[in-house]
Each structure stands twice: as structure tokens, then as C-alpha cells.
């Protein structure tokens, strides 16, 4: 079968499926306090529609799928859906991004259904700050969820921290130190520009280089070589003899567009080939009007053919995305 390769010869083998626009937290940099205008339920893809696209995509070279949202664990039937995806022949890696609030309850069942691993978003280890950032008092639940994910073998458990200057950068070392004690992979992510009320400003974005410098001032880091880590863009390191790792992801200051292998499907059925481009290919209509698999496949190839060479965050022409991360699928 023909593989998905874009105009710039990048092999597209990674698909993110956003299964819902709903979330049980309201992180200040992602959503306004009252939430966002939700997509009408009938416009949200049904699980069987996601599975159909995934099956077609896997037949054309997608080997890794990440399920995200919104918060994927708030959508009913998520475990059975994971089971369906896990059964796709040719899929090598199935992961899920979650805020961790419901993870303790779901981890065992997700593992049994065939999920390989989880990424848990966590930006602070302080109870009050967690409340301020997420507008929810659930830090304990997230920490329990992390432990449970490790216990049931959803490994490596990754912890993603979005670093915002003056907000949580005082906790960088506390997060890095977790990798000394636990086999977690801590990922520091640069704060990216989306059109939300909090208002992104360049000064609030601490570069991955600066973050790494802060960690190294605490203790030297050694590069992690050769171990497989999904298709992630993180630069990976560890402290000597530590069970875990730290990694740095720099979408803003040193973008990795040249090696971008991603395709995203929003919960309302739009294919997006670049996180920062509002250009989308609608696939829902074809899924619902009786189009054949070949016709759906054509749309997949069309989206890939239109994948832009890179984003323009650092150029004057850059416009913040009209959708927030919760609507795109982070
Ligand atoms: N609810 C799930 C979660 O919390 O992981 C999945 C969706 S959430 C939108 C995915 C990720 O996007 C989270 O790690 C969140 O921190 C990240 N995110 C949202 N807005 C961001 C921004 N402006 N810059 C960097 N990361 C952002």
C-alpha cells in the first residue's frame, strides 16, 4: 500500500486522535473559566468513525496513534475504543494523553484493553498552585493516577510540564528530581501561543535551552542514547544512575518541523497537519455520506499533501491558532 509521505519527503507515521472537546479541568492557559463553546454532540465523531479512519491510516503507514482531547478519559466508552484501536494490525504504539484526574480509575482497564503508555500533563506539585492553574482541586488524584499507571505497566509514564515564566518555573528542579526517584520521564515543554484569554506573551516562554541550563546547574545530565521512545520530539537526558529521564521539547525556539511526522484528527472530524496552521481538511462529511474507503483515503492523502513545511511562530506573519489545544487535541 502507498505510504503517507508529504511534499517535503517527510514520512507521516504518527496520528493523534482527539476524541472529545470536553475537559474536567480549566487550565488557565488553555481555556476560559466558564469553558469553551462546545461542539454540538452530533458533530463529534463516533468511535466507529475514528476507528475507520485509524484503520485506513494504519494501512498507509501510520504506526503510532495517540488518543487525546479535551480530556479523553471523560468520554464514555473510552476503554472499549482503546481496545478497538489496539486490535489494528500494523499499529506499533498506542498511547494516551491525559490530565490524570481519572487515571487511577482507568489505568488497569486501559492497560488490559491494549494501551501501551500514557503521558500525564502536570504543571505543578503544589496543591494551591494546582488549583490556580487548573481551577480544580485534584492534585492528589493526579499523583495517585501516576502511581497507578506505573503499577499496571503503562510505561514509560511520561509527565509533561508546560513551563511558564513567573508562574511555575520555580518548580523545574522539583520536577527534574522526580526522575531521580521514580522511573518517570519528565518532559519540559515550551509554552506555545494559542488564542486564549490568558494571553501568550513571548516573555512568558522559557526556552528549552534555559530550562535545561537550570536543571544542569543542579546536577549534570547525560544524553539518553539509542533507547526507543515513540516518535517524540524530546531531547532526552538522565541524571547518572537515575531510574527516570528528563526531556526538553522546544516547539517555539528550536522547532522540529523538518522531522514532523504528525497528523491530527480533531474531535469534529477535521484533519490538521500542523498544530499552528488553521488549514484543515474535513473528513466527517465523507465518513457520513456513504463515501467509500478509497474516497476517505484520498482525503487523507490530500491533507498530507498540503502539510506546510513549518510553522511561523518566530516570524511576523504568525497568527495565533483560532482553536485552543483542547479543541485541536494536544
Ligand atoms: N486533557 C489532556 C491533558 O491534559 O493532557 C489532553 C489535552 S491537553 C489540551 C494536552 C496538552 O496540551 C497538555 O499537556 C497541556 O498542558 C498542553 N497545552 C495546552 N495549551 C498549551 C500551550 N499554550 N502551550 C503548551 N502546551 C499547552
Please tell me the distance from the alpha carbon of residue 169 to that of residue 292, in angstroms, as a whole number.
Answer: 50
Q: Residue 258's pLDDT is what?
A: 83
Atom 2 of ligand 1, nearest CA residue: 98
Work out which ligand 1 atom sits closest to the CA atom of 330: 10
> In the chain, what is the straight-line distance between the N-terminal and C-terminal CA atoms, in Å?
29
326 ligand 1 Cβ < 6 A = yes
Work out which ligand 1 atom sits closest to the CA atom of 160: 14
98 ligand 1 Cβ < 6 A = yes
Q: Cβ contacts of residue 199 below 8 Å, gap of 6+? A: none
Cα 196 to the chain's mean position, in Å? 18
Strand runs (DSSP E) across 51-203, as ranges? Answer: 64-68, 93-98, 117-121, 158-163, 185-190
pLDDT in tens, the chain (330 residues): 899 998 899 999 999 999 999 999 999 888 888 888 899 999 999 999 999 999 999 999 999 999 999 999 999 999 999 999 999 999 999 999 999 999 999 999 999 999 999 999 999 999 999 999 999 999 999 999 999 999 999 999 999 999 999 999 999 999 999 999 999 999 999 998 876 656 677 888 899 999 999 999 999 999 998 655 555 789 999 999 999 999 999 988 887 788 889 999 999 999 998 877 778 999 999 999 999 999 999 999 999 998 888 766 666 555 556 666 777 666
Q: Residue 32's pLDDT is what?
A: 82
CA of residue 71 to ligand 1 center, whole Å: 10
* Among 102, 161, 98, CA closest to 130: 161
Q: Cβ contacts of residue 256 below 8 Å, gap of 6+? A: 233, 250
CA of residue 86 to ligand 1 center, whole Å: 24
Q: Cβ contacts of residue 160 below 8 Å, gap of 6+? A: 97, 119, 120, 121, 122, 187, 189
Mutate to test the pocket of ligand 1, among 16, 17, 121 (most ligand atoms within 8 A of CB): 121
Atom 8 of ligand 1, nearest CA residue: 330
71 ligand 1 Cβ < 6 A = yes
Amino acid at each position: 500500500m502507498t505510504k503517507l509521505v508529504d511534499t517535503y519527503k517527510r514520512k507521516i507515521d504518527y496520528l493523534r486522535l482527539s476524541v472529545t472537546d470536553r475537559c474536567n479541568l480549566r487550565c488557565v492557559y488553555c481555556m476560559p473559566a466558564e469553558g469553551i463553546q462546545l461542539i454540538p454532540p452530533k458533530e463529534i465523531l463516533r468511535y466507529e468513525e475514528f476507528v475507520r479512519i485509524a484503520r485506513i491510516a494504519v494501512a498507509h503507514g501510520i504506526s503510532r496513534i495517540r488518543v487525546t482531547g479535551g480530556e479523553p478519559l471523560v468520554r464514555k466508552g473510552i476503554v472499549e475504543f482503546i481496545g478497538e484501536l489496539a486490535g489494528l494490525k500494523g499499529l506499533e504504539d498506542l498511547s494516551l494523553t491525559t490530565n490524570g484526574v481519572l487515571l487511577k480509575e482507568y489505568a488497569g482497564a486501559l492497560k488490559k484493553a491494549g494501551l501501551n503508555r500514557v503521558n500525564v500533563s502536570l504543571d505543578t506539585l503544589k496543591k494551591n498552585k494546582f488549583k490556580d492553574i487548573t481551577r480544580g482541586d485534584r492534585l492528589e488524584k493526579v499523583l495517585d493516577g501516576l502511581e497507578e499507571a506505573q503499577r499496571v505497566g503503562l510505561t514509560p509514564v511520561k509527565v509533561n510540564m508546560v513551563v511558564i515564566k513567573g508562574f511555575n518555573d520555580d518548580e523545574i528542579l522539583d520536577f527534574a528530581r522526580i526522575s531521580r526517584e521514580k522511573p518517570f520521564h519528565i518532559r519540559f515543554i515550551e509554552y506555545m501561543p494559542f488564542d486564549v484569554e490568558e494571553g501568550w506573551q513571548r516573555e512568558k516562554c522559557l526556552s528549552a535551552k534555559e530550562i535545561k541550563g537550570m536543571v544542569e546547574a543542579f546536577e549534570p545530565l547525560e544524553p539518553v542514547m539509542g533507547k526507543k521512545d515513540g516518535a517524540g520530539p524530546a531531547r532526552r537526558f538522565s541524571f547518572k544512575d537515575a531510574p527516570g529521564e528528563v526531556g526538553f521539547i522546544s516547539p517555539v525556539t528550536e522547532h522540529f518541523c523538518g522531522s514532523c511526522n504528525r497528523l491530527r484528527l480533531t474531535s469534529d472530524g477535521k484533519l490538521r497537519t500542523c498544530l499552528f496552521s488553521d488549514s484543515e481538511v474535513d473528513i466527517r462529511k465523507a465518513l457520513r455520506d456513504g463515501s467509500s474507503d478509497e474516497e476517505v483515503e484520498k482525503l487523507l492523502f490530500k491533507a498530507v499533501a498540503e502539510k506546510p513545511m513549518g510553522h511561523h511562530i518566530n516570524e511576523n506573519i504568525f497568527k495565533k491558532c483560532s482553536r485552543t489545544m483542547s479543541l485541536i487535541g494536544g
